[in-house]
């Protein structure tokens, strides 16, 4: 399959998930991106500080369209993942590419869930 074919297939899958009601992280250009951007740059101290602030949207995507929870899962940061989930991060949120936190954990082969205070099924 060509690269364009793969992109179209992923877009079709993401469209199907959106059609059945899965929330999307895409299309939120007007949102505050500081939390997700801090997670993307692995500035977990900033993530924790931002989680303490009133009005920070834990599900807002960063400039690249990826929410903070996805970044924390991707780098296997159990403490930040747990803090984001406790703060209300949506474990079922999908990116514009149809990626969920659980699919990131599975595809990267990380040990998310081992030693995490939140059960792994919260990401599914």
Which of the four pLDDT bands, split at 50, 70 and 90, describes residue 107? confident
Q: Hey, where are the domains in the chain?
A: 3-123
The neighbour count for residue 83, using CB atoms within 10 Å, is 22
| pLDDT digits 0-9 by tens, 66-84 | 999 999 998 888 889 999 9
Distance separating alpha carbons of residues 106 and 73, to the nearest angstrom: 10
Which of the four pLDDT bands, split at 50, 70 and 90, describes residue 49? very high
> Domain 3-123 has what CATH class?
mainly alpha
CB-based contact 10:98 (threshold 8 Å): yes
**Beta-bridge partner residues of 67:** 61
pTM given for the model: 0.67
Residue 101 CB partners (closer than 8 Å, separation 6+): 69, 70, 73, 81, 91, 93, 123
Polymer length of the chain: 124
Mean pLDDT of 51-80: 91
């Amino acid at each position: 399959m060509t690269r364009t074919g793969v992109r179209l297939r992923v877009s079709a899958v993401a469209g199907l998930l959106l059609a059945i009601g899965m929330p999307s992280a895409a299309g939120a250009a007007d949102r505050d991106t500081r939390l997700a951007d801090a997670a993307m740059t692995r500035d977990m101290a900033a993530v924790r500080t931002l989680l303490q602030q009133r009005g920070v949207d834990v599900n807002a995507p960063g400039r690249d369209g990826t929410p903070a929870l996805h970044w924390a899962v991707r780098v296997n940061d159990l403490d930040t993942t747990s803090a984001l989930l406790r703060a209300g991060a949506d474990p079922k949120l999908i990116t514009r590419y149809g990626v969920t936190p659980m699919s990131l954990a599975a595809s990267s082969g990380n040990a998310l869930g081992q030693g995490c205070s939140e059960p792994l099924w919260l990401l599914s």
